[in-house]
Amino acid sequence: MDISSQLREIVGEARVSDRPEELFIYSRDSGAQPPRRVDYVVMPKTVEEVQQVVLLANREKIPVTPLGGGFTLSALVVPNRGGIVLDMKQMDRIIEVSEINRYALIEPGISQAQLQSYLKKHHPRLQHSTPEAPPTVTVVGNALIQGHGHISPRYGINSDMVNGMEVVLPTGEICTLGSGSIGPSWFTRGPLPELPGLFIGWFGTTGVVTKLSIKLFPKPAFREVLAFYTDDADLIPQGIFEATQVDLLEDFFLISQEKPEWMNHIFFIIIVSGHFEEELEFKKKAFKRLFDGVGGGGKFTFVENLHPALNKRFLDVPPLAALAADFRKGGGFEYTGAILPIDKVPAAWKRGIEIAHKYGMICSYVHQVLLGHSVMFGFNYSFNRADEKDVEATRQALEESNRTTLDLGGMIWKGELGAQQMMLKHMDPNTVELMQKVKQLLDPNRIMNPGNWEPA
């Protein structure tokens, strides 16, 4: 029986396709990477179906690429060697929300918007950490790529919020990790050997996650935006250090755009929240006092009357910060997320402006401060999708930004293939070898999202 028929036997006629017009959409993402071939798309509904597809792929040595929302912009879900795209969107159950233990156990097709609206309706005092990505992106895809959301500056990156998972290994075994592997409650991932790390940050190359427990957090009733600005990039590290010395903020990002003129400053946007109005008032006063003193005093200006449209944009969950970057028309938006140590932000800031100008772009920045230990520094580029020259310029700008990131001692986050190669070249060779041994052990036939994290 041919592969298509075998896949149909597993998931049924309606959830397999090898028709070019349907494969087209899976052969590209909305970033600047070139399209690539896909042979089949399969939409499983159960863990057993995932298992059967993986067993078939393993037997026939066909590549399998798991897909959530497909929005990393780095083509991580566009297969490098054809094969099956495993589109997880139909595994879309919220299996359990434990209010008292503050976690949600979900399937991998659950989007950020689905979890957010479910919590709003059924558990209004809880929230999850929501990235500023399109609402259709998945909670699982985001946690697996070490993403970050609107409460990450307070609670940490989203992969740190994973309590455990169920995963189908590339050889077909179904395995549970975290407290769910021992008892009925998915409330923690330890104290146990750190096995979830075998699937986090691996870009779907080590298995297919079919359930995941994610932490939930209190949702305060009151929130407000505070905006301070400076024009001195060298003050950024000190400003971040002071603002994060006190444990008072919920979200914290830096934003700047060369146009319009009034946005061409370095804005520190701080979201404070509180369960009581007095709590909010106290926090607002504290931040004003702190910023008054940064750099010897008088270096930051408080924005007294933030425009209501901006106020709303920043207070929305997720905030709409990066969307402002589309100046070029043609709908293309790309960014390489650099995870930088805080002391390197001024150098990256200046270099980023040079790179944008070199490729004829306007510089626009959004960087999120992660817990006060690092910054997700977005080198943002908007481009015209219909103009191949513009797309190529964007690829070059991304490459140059990635090189800058590594030169500054930072890490490239969610990197496309070229970026992964750069990271592997910079990496301790013994670490690369260890990664390859882990990969060989879990995926001896190298079927899972091949090409990713593979040394050239």
Ligand X SMILES: Cc1cc2nc3c(=O)[nH]c(=O)nc-3n(C[C@H](O)[C@H](O)[C@H](O)COP(=O)(O)OP(=O)(O)OC[C@H]3O[C@@H](n4cnc5c(N)ncnc54)[C@H](O)[C@@H]3O)c2cc1C
CA–CA gap between residue 412 and residue 298 (Å, rounded)? 35
* Nearest to 245, CA basis, from 275, 287, 297, 303: 287
Residue 236 near ligand X by CB under 6 A: no
Residue 381 near ligand X by CB under 6 A: no
Residue appearing with tokens 């219909």: 386
Residue appearing with tokens 């004003």: 288
C-beta of 129: minimal distance to ligand X in Å? 9
When binding is defined by CB under 6 A, the residue of 32, 42, 57, 77 that contacts ligand X is 77
The answer to whether 371 touches 262, Cβ cutoff 8 Å, is no
Which of these ranges, 19-27, 39-47, 113-121, 133-141, lies near ligand X under the rule CB under 6 A? 133-141
Residue 404 near ligand X by CB under 6 A: no
Which of these ranges, 66-74, 236-244, 296-304, 342-350, lies near ligand X under the rule CB under 6 A? 66-74
* Nearest to 31, CA basis, from 83, 70, 84, 64: 70
**DSSP letters along 58-77, please?**
HHHT--EEEESS--SSS-TT
Residue whose CB is less far from ligand X, 88 or 412? 88
Residue 70 near ligand X by CB under 6 A: yes
Residue 129 near ligand X by CB under 6 A: no
C-beta of 90: minimal distance to ligand X in Å? 12
Residue whose CB is less far from ligand X, 17 or 111? 111
Residue 310 near ligand X by CB under 6 A: no
When binding is defined by CB under 6 A, the residue of 40, 71, 103, 228 that contacts ligand X is 71
Residue appearing with tokens 């007294």: 304
* Structure tokens that stand for 420 in this block: 């992964």
Which of these ranges, 71-79, 96-104, 113-121, 219-227, lies near ligand X under the rule CB under 6 A? 71-79
* Nearest to 377, CA basis, from 408, 332, 331: 408
Quote the DSSP letter at residue 301.
E
Which amino acid does the sequence have at 230? Answer: T
Within 140-169, the residues that bind ligand X by CB under 6 A are: 140-142, 144-145, 147-148
Q: Is the dihedral of CA 250, 252, 257, 260 positive or negative?
A: positive
Size of the site for ligand X (CB under 6 A): 33
* Structure tokens that stand for 281 in this block: 């008032």
Residue whose CB is less far from ligand X, 230 or 382? 382
Residue 198 near ligand X by CB under 6 A: no
φ and ψ at residue 145, rounded to 5 degrees: -95, 15
Binding site for ligand X (CB under 6 A): 65-73, 76-77, 88, 108, 131-134, 137-138, 140-142, 144-145, 147-148, 203-204, 208-209, 322, 333, 449
